[in-house]
Amino acid sequence: MRELREIDYKRCLMSVMRGLQVELPSENQIFYRVDPDLAHQLAVAAQGHLVAFEIVREICSANILNGQPIPEPLRPICSAVLLGSVTGPPHKGRTPGEGFALKYASRRCIFYLSNAYDIPKTRTDASKTRCAADYVHAALKHFDVHYSFEAVRDFTRRGKDPNFSLWSAAFDDLLDESLALEFGLITKPKLRVLHPWGQYAPIRLSRPKGP
């Protein structure tokens, strides 16, 4: 559980990206093979959002260290980084998505416990009724992960951290689709596009207008 604190949103997103293949030739080596369409989407998104930029930098760094080619659409960004002419899109505060994996796992556990045992997801500070967030908070404390109850409760509330809520919902969709593909429940992934903020989303096709 404690190790999840070190896994940010970038790592989680890369783990389920369609078109991004991780190669592990040996225990201490890792590089990436990137589908041309995905490489193009990443190159465009990296110009406006830090998450996409960090993904591109991770791919280029790993491939350079292991003597593997850089996908052509990513080469201009890679060259600019090596020359020191770019450091990534501007942002304020902490790195976006920092500690995402732990927060996401906690959120999923709260939802699961609530549905499985028909108990409330959260409660107010004054309420004495045990809720799913109470059990997750106790489990985190057992593993020496110290979040306040209020912080754990807020993992489920959209208004407290809009970015986390957006990324969690999108990652739910990606993860569910990845499992469905693996078990043969579906045969084709959704048609997706990588938005400028570095997140996959389904392409919404408008209906043709009538005469």
Q: What is the Cα–Cα distance from 27 to 25, expressed in whole angstroms?
A: 7
Six-digit token string for 95: 């790195």
Contact 49, 38 (CB under 8 A): no
Six-digit token string for 134: 């109470």
User: What does the pLDDT read at residue 195?
Assistant: 61
Structural element, H or E, at residue 32: strand 31-34
User: What does the pLDDT read at residue 135?
Assistant: 95
User: What does the pLDDT read at residue 132?
Assistant: 95
Q: How far is the CA of 90 from the CAs of 14, 49, 95, 110, 195, in angstroms? A: 21, 8, 11, 34, 17
Q: What is the Cα–Cα distance from 200 to 45, expressed in whole angstroms?
A: 11
User: What does the pLDDT read at residue 208?
Assistant: 42
Structure letter (DSSP) for residue 201: E
Contact 147, 155 (CB under 8 A): no
**Nearest alpha carbon to residue 111 among 185, 165, 148:** 165
User: What does the pLDDT read at residue 118?
Assistant: 94
Contacts of 118 (CB under 8 A, 6+ apart): none
User: What does the pLDDT read at residue 211?
Assistant: 43
Q: What is the Cα–Cα distance from 169 to 88, expressed in whole angstroms?
A: 25
User: What does the pLDDT read at residue 15?
Assistant: 87
Write down the domain spans for the chain.
Answer: 8-83, 100-202
pTM: 0.76
| Average confidence (pLDDT) per 10 residues, the chain, 211 residues | 82 87 87 93 86 92 95 94 83 68 93 94 85 95 92 86 80 84 85 62 49 43
